[in-house]
Protein backbone atom coordinates (compact mmCIF):
# COMPACT_ATOMS: atom_id res chain seq x y z
CA UNK A 1 0.00 0.00 0.00
CA UNK A 2 1.34 3.43 -0.96
CA UNK A 3 1.72 6.19 1.62
CA UNK A 4 -1.09 8.12 -0.07
CA UNK A 5 -3.43 5.13 0.06
CA UNK A 6 -2.55 4.46 3.68
CA UNK A 7 -3.21 8.09 4.60
CA UNK A 8 -6.59 7.96 2.87
CA UNK A 9 -7.50 4.73 4.69
CA UNK A 10 -6.48 6.23 8.05
CA UNK A 11 -8.54 9.34 7.40
CA UNK A 12 -11.60 7.28 6.46
CA UNK A 13 -11.19 5.17 9.62
CA UNK A 14 -11.09 8.36 11.70
CA UNK A 15 -14.24 9.73 10.06
CA UNK A 16 -16.15 6.45 10.53
CA UNK A 17 -15.17 6.33 14.19
CA UNK A 18 -16.00 10.01 14.68
CA UNK A 19 -19.49 9.59 13.19
CA UNK A 20 -20.19 6.69 15.56
CA UNK A 21 -19.02 8.58 18.64
CA UNK A 22 -20.75 11.84 17.74
CA UNK A 23 -24.05 10.03 17.09
CA UNK A 24 -23.82 8.18 20.38
CA UNK A 25 -22.53 10.98 22.60
CA UNK A 26 -22.81 14.28 20.80
CA UNK A 27 -20.05 16.83 20.55
CA UNK A 28 -19.90 17.57 24.27
CA UNK A 29 -19.70 13.92 25.30
CA UNK A 30 -17.23 12.83 22.62
CA UNK A 31 -13.57 12.25 23.51
CA UNK A 32 -10.67 12.22 21.09
CA UNK A 33 -9.18 9.18 22.84
CA UNK A 34 -12.31 7.13 22.20
CA UNK A 35 -12.36 8.17 18.56
CA UNK A 36 -8.70 7.19 18.23
CA UNK A 37 -9.38 3.82 19.88
CA UNK A 38 -12.25 3.03 17.54
CA UNK A 39 -10.21 4.11 14.54
CA UNK A 40 -7.38 1.80 15.63
CA UNK A 41 -4.80 4.55 15.89
CA UNK A 42 -3.07 6.46 18.68
CA UNK A 43 -4.27 9.84 19.88
CA UNK A 44 -1.21 11.67 18.58
CA UNK A 45 -1.92 10.49 15.04
CA UNK A 46 -5.55 11.57 15.38
CA UNK A 47 -4.39 15.06 16.35
CA UNK A 48 -2.11 15.08 13.30
CA UNK A 49 -5.21 14.85 11.10
CA UNK A 50 -7.60 16.93 13.25
CA UNK A 51 -6.43 19.36 15.91
CA UNK A 52 -9.45 18.90 18.17
CA UNK A 53 -12.89 17.33 18.30
CA UNK A 54 -14.60 20.59 17.24
CA UNK A 55 -12.63 20.63 13.99
CA UNK A 56 -13.46 16.97 13.42
CA UNK A 57 -17.15 17.51 14.18
CA UNK A 58 -17.30 20.44 11.76
CA UNK A 59 -15.66 18.38 9.01
CA UNK A 60 -18.02 15.42 9.44
CA UNK A 61 -21.10 17.64 9.35
CA UNK A 62 -20.06 19.78 6.39
CA UNK A 63 -18.88 16.75 4.43
CA UNK A 64 -22.45 15.44 4.50
CA UNK A 65 -24.33 18.64 3.74
CA UNK A 66 -21.92 19.99 1.15
CA UNK A 67 -22.91 17.09 -1.12
CA UNK A 68 -26.57 18.13 -1.08
CA UNK A 69 -27.47 21.83 -0.97
CA UNK A 70 -25.12 23.10 -3.69
CA UNK A 71 -26.81 20.66 -6.10
CA UNK A 72 -30.23 21.97 -5.06
CA UNK A 73 -29.09 25.56 -5.60
CA UNK A 74 -27.95 24.60 -9.11
CA UNK A 75 -31.39 23.11 -9.78
CA UNK A 76 -33.07 26.31 -8.60
CA UNK A 77 -31.03 28.37 -11.07
CA UNK A 78 -32.08 26.21 -14.01
CA UNK A 79 -35.17 27.06 -16.04
CA UNK A 80 -37.15 23.94 -15.11
CA UNK A 81 -40.72 23.41 -13.82
CA UNK A 82 -41.05 23.72 -10.06
CA UNK A 83 -42.29 20.12 -9.90
CA UNK A 84 -38.81 19.11 -11.08
CA UNK A 85 -37.22 21.20 -8.34
CA UNK A 86 -39.39 19.50 -5.67
CA UNK A 87 -38.46 16.09 -7.05
CA UNK A 88 -34.75 17.00 -7.06
CA UNK A 89 -34.93 18.25 -3.46
CA UNK A 90 -36.68 15.10 -2.20
CA UNK A 91 -34.47 12.66 -4.09
CA UNK A 92 -31.33 14.56 -3.19
CA UNK A 93 -32.19 14.70 0.50
CA UNK A 94 -33.25 11.04 0.64
CA UNK A 95 -30.08 9.95 -1.17
CA UNK A 96 -27.98 11.87 1.33
CA UNK A 97 -29.82 10.20 4.22
CA UNK A 98 -29.55 6.70 2.70
CA UNK A 99 -25.82 7.17 2.26
CA UNK A 100 -25.46 8.71 5.73
CA UNK A 101 -28.14 7.14 7.96
CA UNK A 102 -26.30 8.42 11.03
CA UNK A 103 -27.05 12.03 10.06
CA UNK A 104 -30.54 12.54 11.60
CA UNK A 105 -29.46 11.45 15.08
CA UNK A 106 -26.17 13.27 14.61
CA UNK A 107 -28.14 16.48 14.08
CA UNK A 108 -30.78 15.82 16.74
CA UNK A 109 -28.09 15.29 19.38
CA UNK A 110 -26.83 18.83 18.79
CA UNK A 111 -30.09 20.70 18.22
CA UNK A 112 -30.66 21.54 21.86
CA UNK A 113 -27.04 21.86 22.95
CA UNK A 114 -25.52 23.98 20.20
CA UNK A 115 -28.00 25.27 17.58
CA UNK A 116 -25.71 28.20 16.73
CA UNK A 117 -22.96 25.80 15.64
CA UNK A 118 -25.39 23.81 13.48
CA UNK A 119 -26.69 26.99 11.85
CA UNK A 120 -23.15 28.11 11.04
CA UNK A 121 -22.14 24.73 9.66
CA UNK A 122 -25.23 24.46 7.47
CA UNK A 123 -24.55 27.89 5.96
CA UNK A 124 -20.88 27.03 5.39
CA UNK A 125 -22.01 23.83 3.64
CA UNK A 126 -24.08 25.87 1.17
CA UNK A 127 -27.51 25.85 2.85
CA UNK A 128 -29.32 29.06 1.87
CA UNK A 129 -33.06 28.48 2.33
CA UNK A 130 -33.96 31.99 1.23
CA UNK A 131 -33.33 30.97 -2.40
CA UNK A 132 -35.78 28.07 -2.15
CA UNK A 133 -38.29 30.19 -0.22
CA UNK A 134 -38.21 32.84 -2.95
CA UNK A 135 -38.77 30.18 -5.62
CA UNK A 136 -41.78 28.75 -3.78
CA UNK A 137 -43.24 32.22 -3.25
CA UNK A 138 -42.85 32.94 -6.94
CA UNK A 139 -44.74 29.76 -7.84
CA UNK A 140 -47.54 30.67 -5.43
CA UNK A 141 -47.85 34.13 -7.00
CA UNK A 142 -47.98 32.55 -10.47
CA UNK A 143 -50.79 30.25 -9.36
CA UNK A 144 -48.92 26.99 -10.01
CA UNK A 145 -48.58 26.07 -6.33
CA UNK A 146 -51.04 26.17 -3.47
CA UNK A 147 -50.68 29.10 -1.09
CA UNK A 148 -48.80 27.50 1.79
CA UNK A 149 -46.17 29.30 3.84
CA UNK A 150 -42.95 28.28 2.00
CA UNK A 151 -41.35 27.44 5.34
CA UNK A 152 -44.11 24.87 5.95
CA UNK A 153 -43.26 23.17 2.67
CA UNK A 154 -39.53 23.00 3.40
CA UNK A 155 -40.09 21.76 6.97
CA UNK A 156 -42.49 19.09 5.68
CA UNK A 157 -39.92 17.83 3.17
CA UNK A 158 -37.19 17.68 5.83
CA UNK A 159 -39.31 16.02 8.52
CA UNK A 160 -41.07 13.53 6.23
CA UNK A 161 -37.69 12.50 4.83
CA UNK A 162 -35.74 12.41 8.08
CA UNK A 163 -38.18 10.70 10.44
CA UNK A 164 -37.98 7.19 8.92
CA UNK A 165 -34.21 7.25 9.49
CA UNK A 166 -34.26 8.85 12.95
CA UNK A 167 -37.02 6.53 14.20
CA UNK A 168 -35.86 3.36 12.45
CA UNK A 169 -35.22 1.32 15.65
CA UNK A 170 -38.88 1.73 16.62
CA UNK A 171 -40.53 1.91 13.19
CA UNK A 172 -38.80 -1.25 11.96
CA UNK A 173 -40.03 -3.18 14.99
CA UNK A 174 -43.59 -1.85 15.12
CA UNK A 175 -44.50 -1.69 11.44
CA UNK A 176 -42.14 -4.14 9.70
CA UNK A 177 -41.82 -7.07 12.13
CA UNK A 178 -38.23 -6.03 12.85
CA UNK A 179 -37.28 -7.18 9.35
CA UNK A 180 -34.38 -4.99 8.12
CA UNK A 181 -34.85 -6.11 4.51
CA UNK A 182 -38.49 -5.00 4.49
CA UNK A 183 -37.51 -1.68 6.02
CA UNK A 184 -34.80 -1.12 3.42
CA UNK A 185 -37.39 -1.72 0.70
CA UNK A 186 -39.64 0.84 2.38
CA UNK A 187 -36.78 3.36 2.52
CA UNK A 188 -35.95 2.75 -1.14
CA UNK A 189 -39.56 3.52 -2.12
CA UNK A 190 -39.86 6.47 0.21
CA UNK A 191 -38.51 9.19 -2.09
CA UNK A 192 -40.96 8.49 -4.89
CA UNK A 193 -43.86 8.10 -2.44
CA UNK A 194 -42.98 11.46 -0.92
CA UNK A 195 -42.72 13.10 -4.35
CA UNK A 196 -46.21 11.84 -5.24
CA UNK A 197 -47.60 13.01 -1.89
CA UNK A 198 -46.12 16.50 -2.27
CA UNK A 199 -47.24 16.71 -5.89
CA UNK A 200 -50.86 16.09 -4.81
CA UNK A 201 -50.58 18.44 -1.84
CA UNK A 202 -48.84 21.36 -3.54
CA UNK A 203 -49.84 21.55 -7.17
CA UNK A 204 -53.06 22.22 -9.04
CA UNK A 205 -54.06 19.94 -11.88
CA UNK A 206 -55.96 21.10 -14.93
CA UNK A 207 -59.37 20.37 -13.37
CA UNK A 208 -58.59 22.12 -10.09
CA UNK A 209 -57.00 25.24 -11.56
CA UNK A 210 -59.38 27.34 -13.67
CA UNK A 211 -56.49 28.71 -15.68
CA UNK A 212 -55.26 25.21 -16.51
CA UNK A 213 -51.88 25.75 -14.86
Report d(CA 31, CA 57) in Å as an integer: 11
Distance between alpha carbon 117 and the CA centroid of its chain, in Å? Answer: 16
Please report, for the chain, the start and end positions of each structural domain, with discontinuous segments joined by +: 3-56, 65-202
Which architecture does CATH list for 3-56? Orthogonal Bundle (1.10)
Half-sphere exposure of 162 (CA within 13 A, CB side): 13
Residue 211's pLDDT is what? 44
Determine contact, residues 88/153, Cβ cutoff 8 Å.
no
Residue 109's pLDDT is what? 82
Q: Exposure of 147 by Cβ count < 10 A (0-12 exposed, 13-18 middle, 19+ buried)?
A: exposed
Determine contact, residues 180/186, Cβ cutoff 8 Å.
no
What CATH topology corresponds to 65-202?
Tetracycline Repressor; domain 2 (1.10.357)
Phi (first) and psi of residue 145, to 5 degrees? -135, 140
Residue 202's pLDDT is what? 94
Residue 65's pLDDT is what? 78
How far from 160 is each of 58, 147, 164, 188, 207, CA to CA, in Å?
Answer: 25, 20, 8, 14, 28
Report d(CA 157, CA 168) in Å as an integer: 18
Q: Rounded to two decimals, what is the model's pTM?
A: 0.79
Residue 33's pLDDT is what? 97
Residue 31's pLDDT is what? 96
Model confidence pLDDT, tens digit, residues 74-115? 777 777 888 988 998 899 889 888 888 888 888 888 888 889
Which residue positions in the chain have pLDDT lower than 70? 205-213
Contacts of 143 (CB under 8 A, 6+ apart): 204, 209, 211, 213
Determine contact, residues 174/62, Cβ cutoff 8 Å.
no
Residue 209's pLDDT is what? 46
Residue 52's pLDDT is what? 96
DSSP collapsed to 3 states, 126-173: CCCHHHHHHHHHHHHHHCCECCCCHHHHHHHHHHHHHHHHHCHHHHHH
Report d(CA 42, CA 38) in Å as an integer: 10
Residue 207's pLDDT is what? 42
Residue 139's pLDDT is what? 92
**10-20 burial: b if 16+ Cβ within 10 Å, else e:** beebbbebbbb
Amino acid sequence: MTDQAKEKETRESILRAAREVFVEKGLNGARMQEIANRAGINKALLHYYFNNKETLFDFVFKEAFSQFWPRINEELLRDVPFRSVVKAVVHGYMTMLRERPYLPNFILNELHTNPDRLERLMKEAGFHPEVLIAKIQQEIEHGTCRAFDPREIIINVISLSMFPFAARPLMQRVWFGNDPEQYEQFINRRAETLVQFLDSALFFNAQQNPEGL
